[in-house]
Amino acid sequence: MDSKMGYQGLPGASSVHDARRRPSLPKTILLALCTAVATATVLTCNTFLQSAASQRIHYVPLNAETILTRCAALGEKPRPPTDFLARDASDRYEPGTKSTLVKNARIWTGARNGTEIVYGDVYLDKGVVKGIGYIPEALYASEREVIVVDAKGGWVTPGLVDLHSHVGVSSVPELHGTLDVNSEHGPILPWLRSIDAFNTHDDAFQLAIAGGVTSVQVLPGSGNAIAGQAFMFKLRKTSDRTPSSMVLEPPHSLNGSSANSEHPMRWRHMKQACGESLIAYGNRMDSMWSYRWAYNEARRIKDSQDVYCAKAEAGLWDELSGQNYPDNLQWEALVDVLRGRVKVSTHCYEEVDLDSMVRSDHPILNSRYLMYEAQQAHYWGLPPHLALLSVTAVPATAAGMSHRIGVLQEGTDADVVLWDSHPLQLGATPRKVWIDGILQIGADEEGIVIGKGKEARQFQEVPNVPNWDKERKEAIKWDGLPPLAPTQYRSRVLLRNVREVTVRDPDAEDRLKTLLEPGELSDVVLDRGRITCIGKHCLGGINAEVEIDLQGGAIAPSLMTFGSPLGVEEIMLEASTGDGVLFDPLHGDPPSILGDKGGLVRTADALKFGTRNALLAHRAGVTYATSSLEKTTYFTSPAFIAGLSVTFRTGSAHALEPGAVIKQITALHIVLSRTSPSSLVGQASVSTQIAALRRLLLNGEPDDTETGHWFKRAAQGAIPLVIDVASADIMAVLLRLKVEVEQARGSLMKMVFFRATEAHLIADEIAREKVGIILEPARPFPQVWDERRILAGPPLTNDTSLVRLMDAGVTVAIGCRDAWQPVNTRFDVAWAQAALETNGRITRQKAQALVTTNLEKLLDIEGWIDEDGGDLLAVTPLTVSMRTRSHAPDANPENGEDATERVDEPTQGESEECTGVEVHLLKAVNGVRNMRRELEELRRRNGELEQRLEAFEQAEDVSIQPKRGKRGGPTVAKLQSEARRLNGQIRDLEKARRKDRKTIAKLRAREVKEDVAELEDDAEIFIGDSPHRMRKLLRSFHDIVLSSSIEENEECPICMDPLEVDKCVSVDCVQPALRTHVLQVLHIEASQQWDDLLEVAKAWAKMDLRRQADTSEEEAEEEFIDDELPNGDASSVRSASENPIATSPEPEEPVDAGPLPSTPPPDGGPPATPVSRKRRITFTPESSPLSQVDSVEPEDPGPSSSLLITELPEPSVLPAPTQDEPVAGPSSAAEQSVITPQTSQSARPAYVASPTRDKRKRMEDLAAARKQKRRL
């Protein structure tokens, strides 16, 4: 039909029908030819036209402009706007915020590499710093209301910047539902974003602001190689209360905006990790392959984008036909890393992997104490301007934000901190904190006292720090691991310029006594680890092995640490260097071979010495440590029974070293806790744990098992029971359990709460039950739910947990959790002192007790520590300088380096210096002291039992018949039996104490006699070593001259200072005062008499002894006469005092001494002629051995001897000791007679000269005899 219609209208259509009837061959051929020619022509034209059109027309996609804009942006770099600092208001400004003027401040701006300090004012307006230094009134005159703050010369800094934080994604208190820090979906996760998990209700925000932190970089966790994208946040909660509104300069990829000339591209941030953090996904090789694979994927996308944009910019759209811009949502962040648009934070542990900088790593380290990290960096050698930069401008620059935070200049964000002291002073606390010009901390109406006790100028200055040049060189030499073994000095050490001396004293407040009050600097001599002299001119220091200048430092008891696995593990979280897995009886049965369902083990069996953490702690003055097997980590829950702890010395080489292990079994440890939010294994319920503890304390296991035996001992109060607990509710239950057990067993338990974060809520109840507290950490943090109710201290609260507990009368100490923390114990003590967080309410002595005597009391190791006098710690104002008992710091004392004196028990070669009598005497004295403490404790317990007995007798519903059953309650009969038992123990102890007193008296008498005999032996030998001679002479003077009781107005015969019984201060070089029952030491002040004594000692050393003669028992004087006589004769003479101990040689013929000047005799007769340059010392002690021998009739030497007689002054007669007082010398009536000088004119034997040859031979014989005697 179509063909017909096509043909119909054509010209000549009517002749077609005719042609069929009359065909014409020539016409047909002609038509075919024409048709062929036309077709060829059309085809040729079409080909030509298509070729020409292809040269003039391109394929252009509709989004070509967008593609070209996107390609042009590939070469841009993040930067701030050109006129950013000229802005009038911040993009974070909250309308209605009043302007603030901070006047009279010292402003550390952070400019000029941290060296710029401006004295003046700071003006904050509309969230921006508008002026620094001189602020003209015209600048703020237009404002209706300006808040004026007087800094009073205080320091102002930019707000601190924490570059490594998990705040908001690891919220506190930690809950399983809000723990979003790590992902379990592979090692490479660059598409994750921390803002998607950011919790605006994290309690850590306010705590961080309280430490001066205003901006943080919130990172994903370290469990993934590439953990995801990080964001910078301001900690101020905005009016929107949304995570996005808290982001500082959100990248354009976050809100879908695009960069332009007014809003240039902004920095993005990424978190990476390496090392052992990635153990869940393999080892380091696996991690590195993950990195290579991920960045190779990103590189391929980047290359594709570059090729695509090159074609688009060249106009080759036909080649891009059907292609989209190469992009991938998963890898786009890594592509930006390759393009240099992302600031990457890499978390590694090894120095070879980490370009170290100061950071916090909240919540592993509390962001509130970010400045504390800078303070430590400064202490260990970082210059002050760099230390401050490390927490302000440096992290801000690293994050690409230095144009608005981390520095103070006109136009930057109004993030400002006003400090109560110089920011690098330990314990510096913010008085006020502004973020975006809005006050966050320090409102006056809150009434928080900040900075009390820091008014002195020294708190506003940069603190002085030690010189660590030698340690730096050692670290480089040893590749970061220099030897830490302590240097040992076994003889005498002289400490110069000592400002204060404090020692342990069981009878003093806080068990600490000050021997030298702060004031004029003095010298201190340590001999064999004991203080032997305190004064300006200590003669004992003239031959000291080492001399250390403390530069105004102090001597105090060495520190102690508790709670960490120090000595149990070498490397944290490295199982191969620790004790291994501790069995938990609440989760399964321990090995049957133990034969103990509780599986109780001893820490002493796993103790290792010489660990780096222990030696570093020892260098820092921590010489004692109590460690248990408790293992609490961030990701696991601890075992219920943590074993029996051990107390040891941190500087000892091995367990068999004398004094290395102080107490093998110190305490029984229990952990009561809930399941950790990040733990993979659930913890037994709290009610189950308490039920198990109740059963064990009420005799739940057989006594022949470790568990049964030691839990019974803990229930009886024989050893402390230390319970790791944080919740106040659980502690209240434990207080009731304590009463229940004590009533059932008729005992008094020694219970201690460790950690005890919420203990301040029931402080009075804890004090009433006499339970001790060991706080950990020293500065609280609401890590988990049971720790949420804390007292944060200034600037958030006036009180701290420490102050609240001490005010209630609780014995408090501080501990730590990890083995790397004991080295900072002295810093923790400083935080607790008067001028820091407690605003002057804790004295220095009470702060020292937190890590010394209070710990010793709570752990019941007072007697064990005091057995050898306790270690001492000498510190300079800059660093630790020495430890002794044992122990003094390595190295160059002038540079504040660590030098450790170690004085152990005397060896065979030291027997000359320390006799067996001295050793026995010391042990006896310590035994009596320990017995006295035990006696007092028994009396106290007996009194409490009697009070409880009275209460039961008065109660109407108390049965007087003993209850049946193993777990029967307390009855009158049972309590009466316990009281009788305790009274019997008291009687036995008193009897033993009286016996030991007698033993002490006898031993001291023997000691004095042996020293006198040794003195007489020395008199027979020519000794050329004057310092040695003086040392022996001084010791003999101390033992013989000073009496065991002191009369009124009596003077010390050594230093001539008045002696007062109640004011004697102590070293054990003198006799004990009767009224104190303890060894005390004379406090020797500088005096001219010391110089006189020195002359006497020198004269003795020069004496040329000729012979020795017996004299009468009543003689009480010894005279030292120079060799040279007036007539020039070189012979020496000696006074005719009697020596009943040594045997004198036969007298020789006298030699004419020649005429001498005359002096009147004692009875007024003819004058006697004294010997020239004669020196005399009179002995008057009751304990003098010269009064303990039978009388010997003196010889009559002839008239010539009268030339040597002189009258001596009348000695003081000392009162006899009372019956109850210990006697330091002889106890019989004959032995206590007082020696008086010989006043008659009876003849005395003369000392005559002997030939030099005979004299030398006699001295050689005596020396050989004495050597043989000592050998025997």
* Residue 428: per-residue pLDDT: 92
Residue 731 within any structural domain of the chain: yes
Residue 735 within any structural domain of the chain: yes
- Does 42 share its domain with 68? no
* Residue 148: per-residue pLDDT: 94
Average of per-residue pLDDT across 671-688: 85
* Residue 779: per-residue pLDDT: 87
Cα–Cα distance measured from residue 952 to residue 939, given in angstroms and rounded to the nearest whole number:
20
- Does 1128 share its domain with 991? no
Residue 580 has pLDDT above 60, yes or no: yes
Tell which of 848, 869, 890 closes a domain: 869
Structural domain harbouring 365:
63-80+160-405
Residue 861 has pLDDT above 50, yes or no: yes
* Residue 724: per-residue pLDDT: 96
Residue 1075 has pLDDT above 90, yes or no: no
Give the residue, 700 or 950, on which the prediction is more confident.
700
Q: Let me know: does 637 contact 673? Beta carbons within 8 Å.
A: yes
Q: Let me know: does 1118 contact 1186? Beta carbons within 8 Å.
A: no
- Does 220 share its domain with 332? yes
**148-153-156 Cα angle (round to 5):** 75
Residue 240 has pLDDT above 70, yes or no: yes
* Residue 540: per-residue pLDDT: 66
- Does 215 share its domain with 256? yes
Domain count, the chain: 5
* Residue 1272: per-residue pLDDT: 61
Closest by Cα among 201, 258, 1212, 379 to 788: 201
- Does 958 share its domain with 836? no
Average of per-residue pLDDT across 1182-1187: 34
What mean pLDDT value characterizes the chain? Answer: 75
Tell which of 835, 869, 903 closes a domain: 869
Cα–Cα distance measured from residue 783 to residue 373, given in angstroms and rounded to the nearest whole number:
19
CA distances from 523 to 494, 546, 893, 1033, 1212 (A): 7, 13, 15, 20, 31
Cα–Cα distance measured from residue 352 to residue 756, given in angstroms and rounded to the nearest whole number:
39
- Does 648 share its domain with 783? yes
- Does 1132 share its domain with 1243? yes
Residue 276 within any structural domain of the chain: yes
- Does 607 share its domain with 733? yes
- Does 44 share its domain with 70? no
What sign does the CA torsion over 837, 839, 845, 850 have? negative
* Residue 1089: per-residue pLDDT: 47
Tell which of 1008, 1024, 1058 closes a domain: 1008
Residue 324 has pLDDT above 70, yes or no: yes
Residue 788 within any structural domain of the chain: yes
Give the residue, 1220 or 396, on which the prediction is more confident.
396
Give the residue, 748 or 1106, on which the prediction is more confident.
748
Say whether 500 sits in a helix, a strand or coil: strand
- Does 1216 share its domain with 1098? yes
Angle between helices 706-716 and 728-745 (to 10 degrees): 90
- Does 966 share its domain with 838? no
Closest by Cα among 559, 717, 568, 558 to 631: 568
Residue 646 pLDDT grade (very low, low, confident, very high; cuts 50, 70, 90): very high
Give the residue, 1091 or 197, on which the prediction is more confident.
197
Residue 1049 within any structural domain of the chain: no
* Residue 969: per-residue pLDDT: 56
Rounded-to-10 torsion of CA 939, 940, 945, 949 = 90
Angle between helices 1026-1041 and 972-1019 (to 10 degrees): 130
The 10 Å Cβ neighbour count of residue 853 is 26
546-557/492-504 β-pairing:
parallel
Residue 504 within any structural domain of the chain: no
Cα–Cα distance measured from residue 717 to residue 732, given in angstroms and rounded to the nearest whole number:
20
Q: pLDDT tens across 993-1031, in order?
A: 777 777 777 776 776 666 666 655 555 444 444 445 555
Average of per-residue pLDDT across 261-266: 84
Residue 106 within any structural domain of the chain: no
Cα–Cα distance measured from residue 975 to residue 955, given in angstroms and rounded to the nearest whole number:
14
Residue 730 pLDDT grade (very low, low, confident, very high; cuts 50, 70, 90): very high
In the 8-state DSSP scheme, what is residue 839? T
- Does 198 share its domain with 266? yes
Whole-number percent of the chain with pLDDT over 70: 66
Residue 956 has pLDDT above 50, yes or no: no
Tokens of 928: 């009596």
Q: Let me know: does 676 contact 784? Beta carbons within 8 Å.
A: yes
Residue 481 within any structural domain of the chain: no
Tokens of 937: 């404790």
* Residue 20: per-residue pLDDT: 38
Closest by Cα among 569, 598, 1013, 1134 to 820: 569
* Residue 259: per-residue pLDDT: 77
Give the residue, 197 or 1140, on which the prediction is more confident.
197
* Residue 1134: per-residue pLDDT: 33
* Residue 261: per-residue pLDDT: 72
Q: Let me know: does 620 contact 658? Beta carbons within 8 Å.
A: no
Here the CATH number for the domain that contains residue 808 is 3.20.20.140
Across 313-317, 602-606, 1258-1262, the highest mean pLDDT is recorded for 602-606
Residue 320 pLDDT grade (very low, low, confident, very high; cuts 50, 70, 90): confident
Closest by Cα among 1032, 1111, 1046, 1132 to 1082: 1046
Average of per-residue pLDDT across 1238-1253: 40
